[in-house]
Structure 1
Amino acid sequence: MSLQDAPQPSGTGRLLNIFKDRSVEDHGVGWSSLWDSGESDLWDRGKASPALVDIIEQESDLINPLNQNGSRKKAIVPGCGRGYDVVMLALHGFDAYGLEISETAVKEAEAYALAQIKSPSAYHFRSGEHRQGSRGSATFLKGDFFSSDWAFTEDIGGSTKFDLAYDYTFLCALHPERRKDWANSMARIVKPGGLLICLEFPLYKDPSLPGPPWGLKGVHWDLLSQGGDGVVWGNVGEDGKEEATEHCEKGAFRRILYAKPALSHEAGKGTDMLSVNQRK
């Protein structure tokens, strides 16, 4: 698929107009206003990430919801939207948390979770059928990801560290100036040995074009490994493996899996990459 043929997310033009004259510091207010005005359909995918469902069920040895003592691992989805991925993780045994800057988003996610935990939709499972097993909890928090205030609430059980973090469209919704902050914040909240899973999107978009969504060339190189902005590739091959392997020890995360997902949302199908990065 060529860059020109890649499907564009619905509502892209509207988003560009909303954010083109806003200061980076004011972007959070912009997203909150879109939730308040009922315009979340501009980016809403309507279901959990098929690529995340796949890897959770296929890589159960790598991504296990239980600790050795039987306690549940904690997962977090910053910028969780209506909470599709949070609920899916809870249905697969994690105590899952969703973080949103908008009070309206939190309320909509809580309503969605209440219904889905009782009667899950087929898209939460790879086979389309409900997998039997113990469920975890789904909790939603209001807060700014780049502030530590939200992490000191009783709702997360007194621990500010998570075993798993998932990012799909949160990173691409952030102005590139905030990408270093994103990487630093992920390193802060993921515990040593924990996993940062990224469905990397939109890889088809020229990073020089305005957003959101803002294009990027990858997440590990050079964003996680070098503290860059995810735009510069340098002398790395298209698969990103040679140079990323050489430099991975310089960052807080070590990439342990990198593959094109068999399934993904239509907006990035055929161009998305799935990466699993382990906190050192």
Structure 2
Amino acid sequence: MPGPDAPQAGSGFVDPPEPPVYQDRWESIWSAGLPAGVRWDQSQAAPALQELLRRGAVDVRGKRVLVPGCGRGYDIPEFAAAGAAEVVGLELAPTAVARAREYLTQGQWPGDQGSRMRVEEGDFMAWADPAGPFDVGFDYTFGCAMHPTMRHDWATHWARSLAPGGVLVALVFPVNPAADPNAGPPFPVTPELYKELLQPQGFEVTFSEPVDPSVSLGPRKGREHMMLLRRK
């Protein structure tokens, strides 16, 4: 896809699908050896998330957090460090699960932080944690990976995954209203689209603001928007 949305190291996702099943692409890419810092992998946690937690815009202390499409798991320790009781990363691709578990296992985490983080393998559209719905969810480079035909199911399962009163932290990316909406992944998205999809599922927007370029990485600057949505 030409222009600023073309796949590139550190910001792009994948080329047009080859496998007959849409979800197969992810394991294909991971198992081929996805290096850190390439495509969607940024080699670090999202700065916008770090800033959000630093200023206490979302209180995760003592709460359970779900991070689907967690990749190597960079964002998981951020929630644990902020006091979450449990942080669960979810990945569809078995190789991604292995990479995320390696990252968490090899990290030098203070206190009991390591015991409060885990990664599970599963399809977000069908997976449910035995312990029940979560208090907080984090969606970043995940909603935009969904084919447009999958978006209703994506929104429906977010409603099922969060308990009443739960908060969805949606770091909307890539925001580009002028791009072809069917060209991706990553498929261009907007805050308005997330609102349109999630409000009918019982979510209300409590915060919505473009991410300051100073807390975005490289080519993602100016293309991120932070939203907080509370499940009624």
Match of 2:165 in 1: 193
Q: Relative to structure 1, is the Cα distance of residues 206 and 22 closer, same or farther in structure 2, using a 3 angstrom cutoff?
A: farther
Listed one character per residue, the Cα deviations across residues 3-49 of structure 1 (whole Å, up to 9, x for unaligned) are x6x575525888223x1x545xx122110111111135322111000
Report the TM-score when normalising by structure 1. 0.72
Aligned-pair distance for 1:198?
0.7
- Partner amino acid, structure 1, of 2:229: N
What is the CA–CA distance in structure 1 between the aligned matches of 2:73 and 2:48, rounded to whole Å? 16
- Structure 1 residue 214 and structure 2 residue 187: aligned? yes
Please list, as runs of the form range in 1=range in 2, the aligned pairs for 1:193-272 lying within 5 A after superposition: 193-204=165-176, 206-218=179-191, 219-225=193-199, 250-262=200-212, 263-272=215-224
Q: Residue 181 of structure 2 aligns to a residue in which SS?
A: coil
Listed one character per residue, the Cα deviations across residues 51-100 of structure 1 (whole Å, up to 9, x for unaligned) are 01111111x2x52223xxxxx21001100000001122112211111000
Give the fraction of aligned pairs with identical amino acids, expressed as a percent.
Answer: 32
In our comparison, the structure showing a higher alpha carbon Rg is 1
Stretches of structure 1 lacking an aligned partner (at least 5 in a row): 67-71, 120-132, 153-158, 226-249
Aligned-pair distance for 1:221?
2.9
- Partner amino acid, structure 1, of 2:101: E
- Partner amino acid, structure 2, of 1:44: D
Segments of 4+ moved more than 6 angstroms: none
- Partner amino acid, structure 2, of 1:151: D
Match of 1:276 in 2: 228
What is the CA–CA distance in structure 2 between the aligned matches of 1:138 and 1:9, rounded to whole Å? 31
User: Do the aligned residues in 2 keep the contact of 1:207 with 1:216 (CA within 8 Å)?
Assistant: no
User: Which structure has the highest strand share of the two?
Assistant: 2
Match of 1:123 in 2: none
Listed one character per residue, the Cα deviations across residues 205-242 of structure 1 (whole Å, up to 9, x for unaligned) are 614341111112224331212xxxxxxxxxxxxxxxxx
- Structure 1 residue 30 and structure 2 residue 4: aligned? no
Stretches of structure 2 lacking an aligned partner (at least 5 in a row): none
Report the count of equivalent residues: 222
Please list, as runs of the form range in 1=range in 2, the aligned pairs for 1:54-203 lying within 5 A after superposition: 54-58=51-55, 60=56, 62-66=57-61, 72-94=62-84, 95-118=86-109, 135=113, 137-148=116-127, 150-152=128-130, 159-203=131-175
Q: Residue 42 of structure 1 aligns to a residue in which SS?
A: coil
What is the CA–CA distance in structure 1 between the aligned matches of 2:6 and 2:101, rounded to whole Å? 29
Match of 1:128 in 2: none
User: Do the aligned residues in 2 keep the contact of 1:197 with 1:276 (CA within 8 Å)?
Assistant: yes
Report the TM-score when normalising by structure 2. 0.86
Cα root mean square deviation, aligned: 2.4
- Structure 1 residue 50 and structure 2 residue 29: aligned? no
- Partner amino acid, structure 2, of 1:161: P
- Partner amino acid, structure 2, of 1:73: K
